[in-house]
């Protein structure tokens, strides 16, 4: 009897702290839940850690795996992991009395010393397993991971099958016996990119013509560069502030991982990088500012908001989903934000644009169909709200005709083939 054992350590029925243990030996992602009171995945030891991409919900708890012998990931993900972990420690230290972190910079150093970078589509061996990282199309350097021994396992991680301005969509599926797939946007389709970009640019131009300013909150990694490239293509030169500057430099160091590095380079060169001197005079005249944090939950964006929130001619243009409990969500739902400890009403126009880096409903459905056609007969649906992961598993059972499970954290499955 050939068997593979899969234990879900986190990221089930939720978005955050993704972590999957395979055969008590290999962990796929070891993330952090940045919202809520339960930040870490279940504790476990493993010999090897494979990190799919540079988002905290996939790499944010990695330093806790101190006994791991080796860590594998792509070159951009290695750089993003360092950037995010250092930032996470810094933010935690700032929050006095709230010691959420149980790892230090030394732990991050140790993790980085074990890191080996791999290229897309190059099969490598760890013990008896063959592993391959495949382009997941989610963010720069993001990967789906294929692990083969007697039974093969494909972990989609976060994935996007459509092209965006910055990166190509995921391509091809190599075939496997078991699939673990994300369900973030099951049941929801995204606005087509071209339509979204046109609407976004039109709104910016109208605001400038009316004499208003525009604040564009963006995640540092990938979203900032996507927005910079779109603006650059339309000859719009914004100010750029926050961690997105470092992330852009990282991405420009890995040009082969993006679609059009000269467009990003040109757009970055045309942007005015904000320093203390410049920061004071922004908004002396109508300006566009691209800045962190993407959900307005800290970072320079709040300082800029203080300057424009009373101005009905100005706009705050969110570029992605705003999680429950964030400033961004409160602004969208109630038109209120906390500035200088006061809750204030935003009189500037607030807009939201769905520049998602995840597959929508249509793409997820077509992905499971392709996977089933190539041999997957058991699916696990993870990384989504509970109802979505369960609905996706139901869909796979009913429409694709394969076994599908929306697992819970701590569930273990021994999968065998005769
Ligand atoms: Zn992600």
pLDDT digits (tens, 9 = 90+) for 302-352: 999 999 999 999 999 999 989 888 899 999 999 999 888 889 999 999 999
Residue 215 and residue 290 share a domain? yes
Whose structure tokens read 């910016």? Answer: 204
Q: How far is the CA of 131 from the centre of ligand 1 (A)?
A: 20
- Report the C-alpha gap between 266 and 2 in whole angstroms: 53
Identify each DSSP E strand in 26-160 by its residue range.
Answer: 26-30, 48-50, 70-73, 115-117, 124-126, 129-135, 143-148, 152-155
CA of 383 to the centre of ligand 1 (A): 10
Residue with tokens 């906390």: 338
Q: Give the CATH number of the domain where residue 66 resides.
A: 3.60.15.10
Domain end, chosen from 352, 369, 386, is at 352
Instruction: Give CA–CA dist 328/204, Å, rounded.
Output: 19
CA of 54 to the centre of ligand 1 (A): 7
CA of 53 to the centre of ligand 1 (A): 7
Q: Report how far residue 387's alpha carbon sits from residue 187's, in angstroms, rounded to the nearest whole number.
A: 10
In angstroms, what is the span from residue 139 Cα to ligand 1's centroid? 7
Would you state the pLDDT for residue 279? 84
> Does 226 share its domain with 146?
no
| Spans of the chain below 50 pLDDT | none
Report the separation in Å between the CA atom of 52 and the middle of ligand 1, taken as the mean of its atom positions. Answer: 9
Pair 243, 341 in one domain:
yes
What pLDDT is attached to residue 283? 85
CATH number of the domain bearing residue 207: 3.40.50.10890
| Residue 311 structural domain | 193-352
- Residue 13 CA, ligand 1 centroid: distance in Å: 15
Distance 61 CA to ligand 1 centre (A): 14
Token pair in block for residue 394: 């139901």
**Span from the CA of 59 to the centroid of ligand 1 (angstroms):** 10
Residues 270-299: b if buried by 16+ CB within 10 A, e if exposed: ebeebeeeeeeebbeeebbbbbbbbbbbeb
Q: Please indicate, yes or no, whether residues 92 and 213 belong to a single structural domain of this protein.
A: no
Q: Tell me the C-alpha distance between 196 and 203, whole Å.
A: 11
Together in a domain, 99 and 171 = yes
Among 352, 370, 397, give the residue marking a domain's end.
Answer: 352
- Domain stop point among 315, 332, 352: 352
Pairing of strands 342-345, 336-339: antiparallel
**Token pair belonging to 68:** 């791991």
Q: Say whether both 275 and 346 belong to one domain.
A: yes
**pLDDT at 97 (0 to 100):** 53
Record the tokens describing residue 191, joined without a space: 């606005």
What's the chain's length in residues?
Answer: 418
Distance 342 CA to ligand 1 centre (A): 33
Q: Look at residue 34 in the predicted model and tell me its pLDDT.
A: 81
Instruction: Establish how many alpha carbons lie within 13 A of residue 170's alpha carbon, considering only the half-sphere containing its beta carbon.
Output: 28
For ligand 1, the distance from its centroid to the CA atom of residue 297, given in whole angstroms, is 18
307 alpha carbon – ligand 1 mean position (Å): 31
> Are 246 and 347 found together in one domain?
yes
User: 213 C-alpha vs ligand 1 centroid, how far in Å?
Assistant: 30
Helix runs in 348-402, H state only: 361-373, 386-395
Output the CA–CA distances (angstroms, integers) from residue 18 to 22, 38, 180, 227, 415, in the order listed.
13, 13, 12, 27, 20
Residue found by looking up tokens 């990384």 in the block:
383
* 220 and 320 inside one domain: yes
Cα of 158 from ligand 1 centre, angstroms: 5
160 Cα–ligand 1 center, Å: 10
Residue 239: φ, ψ to 5°: -85, 150
Measured in angstroms, how far is the CA atom of residue 157 from the centroid of ligand 1?
A: 8
Q: Round the CA-based radius of gyration of the chain to a whole number and report it.
A: 21
Predicted pLDDT at 100: 57
Ligand 1 center to 360 CA (angstroms): 14
Same domain? For 329 and 371 the reply is no
Q: Where are the beta strands (DSSP E) in 141-213?
A: 143-148, 152-155, 178-182
CA-based nearest residue to 115, from 135, 141, 92, 93: 141
Q: What six digits make up the tokens of 267?
A: 């757009």
Are residue 119 and residue 12 in the same domain, yes or no?
yes
Ligand 1 centre to CA of 343 (Å) is 31
Backbone torsion region of residue 224, taken as left when φ is above 0, otherwise alpha when ψ lies between -120 and 50, otherwise beta = alpha
3-state class (DSSP) for residue 233:
helix
The predicted pLDDT at position 276 comes to 79
How many Å apart are CA 397 and CA 175, to the nearest integer? 19
Distance CA 201, CA 212 (A): 14
CA 25 to CA 31: how far, in whole Å? Answer: 17
Distance 209 CA to ligand 1 centre (A): 36
Measure 183 CA to ligand 1 centroid, in angstroms: 12
Determine the distance separating the centroid of ligand 1 and the alpha carbon of 58, expressed in angstroms.
Answer: 7
| CA dist 46 → 62, 174, 196, 325 (Å) | 11, 26, 43, 33
The tally of CA atoms less than 13 A away on the side-chain side of residue 238 is: 29
Does one domain contain both 183 and 323? no
Q: Are residues 340 and 367 in the same domain?
A: no
Query: Ligand 1 mean position to 116 CA, how many Å?
Result: 20
> In angstroms, what is the span from residue 85 Cα to ligand 1's centroid?
15
Q: Please give the distance, rounded to the nearest whole angstrom, from the Cα atom of residue 238 to the centre of ligand 1.
A: 26
Cα 270-276-281 angle, rounded to 5 deg: 70
Cα 55 to averaged position of ligand 1 atoms, centre (Å): 5
- 239 CA from centroid of ligand 1 (Å): 26
Which H helix or E strand runs over 167? none
> How many domains are there within the chain?
2
């Amino acid at each position: 009897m050939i068997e593979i054992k899969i234990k879900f350590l986190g990221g089930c029925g939720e978005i955050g702290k993704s972590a999957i243990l395979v055969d008590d030996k290999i962990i796929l992602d070891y993330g952090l839940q940045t919202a809520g009171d339960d930040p870490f995945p279940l504790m476990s030891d493993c010999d090897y850690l494979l990190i799919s991409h540079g988002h905290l919900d996939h790499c944010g708890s990695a330093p806790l795996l101190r006994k791991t012998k080796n860590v594998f990931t792509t070159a951009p993900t290695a750089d993003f992991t360092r950037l995010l972990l250092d930032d996470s420690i810094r933010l935690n230290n700032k929050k006095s009395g709230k010691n959420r972190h149980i790892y230090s910079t030394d732990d991050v150093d140790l993790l980085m010393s074990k890191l080996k970078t791999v290229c897309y589509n190059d099969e490598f061996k760890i013990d008896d397993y063959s592993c391959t990282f495949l382009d997941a199309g989610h963010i720069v350097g993001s990967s789906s991971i294929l692990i083969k021994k007697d039974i093969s396992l494909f972990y989609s991680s976060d994935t996007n099958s459509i092209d965006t301005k910055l990166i190509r969509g995921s391509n091809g599926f190599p075939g496997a016996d078991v699939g673990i797939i994300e369900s973030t946007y099951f049941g929801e389709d995204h606005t087509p990119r071209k339509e979204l970009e046109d609407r976004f640019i039109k709104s910016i131009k109208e605001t400038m013509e009316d004499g208003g300013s525009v604040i564009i909150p963006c995640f540092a990694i990938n979203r900032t560069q996507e927005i910079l490239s779109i603006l650059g293509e339309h000859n719009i030169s914004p100010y750029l502030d926050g961690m997105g500057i470092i992330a852009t430099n990282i991405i420009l160091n890995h040009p082969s991982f993006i679609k059009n590095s000269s467009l990003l380079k040109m757009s970055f060169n045309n942007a005015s990088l904000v320093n203390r001197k410049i920061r004071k005079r922004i908004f002396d005249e109508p300006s566009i500012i691209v800045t962190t944090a993407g959900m307005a939950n800290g970072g320079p964006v709040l300082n800029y908001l203080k300057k424009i929130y009373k101005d009905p001619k100005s706009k705050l243009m969110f570029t992605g989903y705003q999680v429950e409990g964030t400033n961004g969500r409160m602004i969208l739902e109630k038109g209120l934000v906390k500035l200088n400890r006061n809750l204030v009403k935003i009189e500037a126009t607030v807009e939201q644009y769905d520049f998602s880096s995840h597959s929508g409903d249509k793409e997820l459905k077509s992905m499971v169909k392709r996977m089933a056609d190539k041999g997957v007969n058991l699916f696990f649906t993870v990384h989504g709200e509970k109802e979505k992961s369960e609905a996706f598993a139901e869909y796979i059972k009913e429409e694709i005709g394969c076994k599908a499970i929306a697992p819970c954290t701590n569930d273990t499955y021994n999968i065998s083939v005769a």
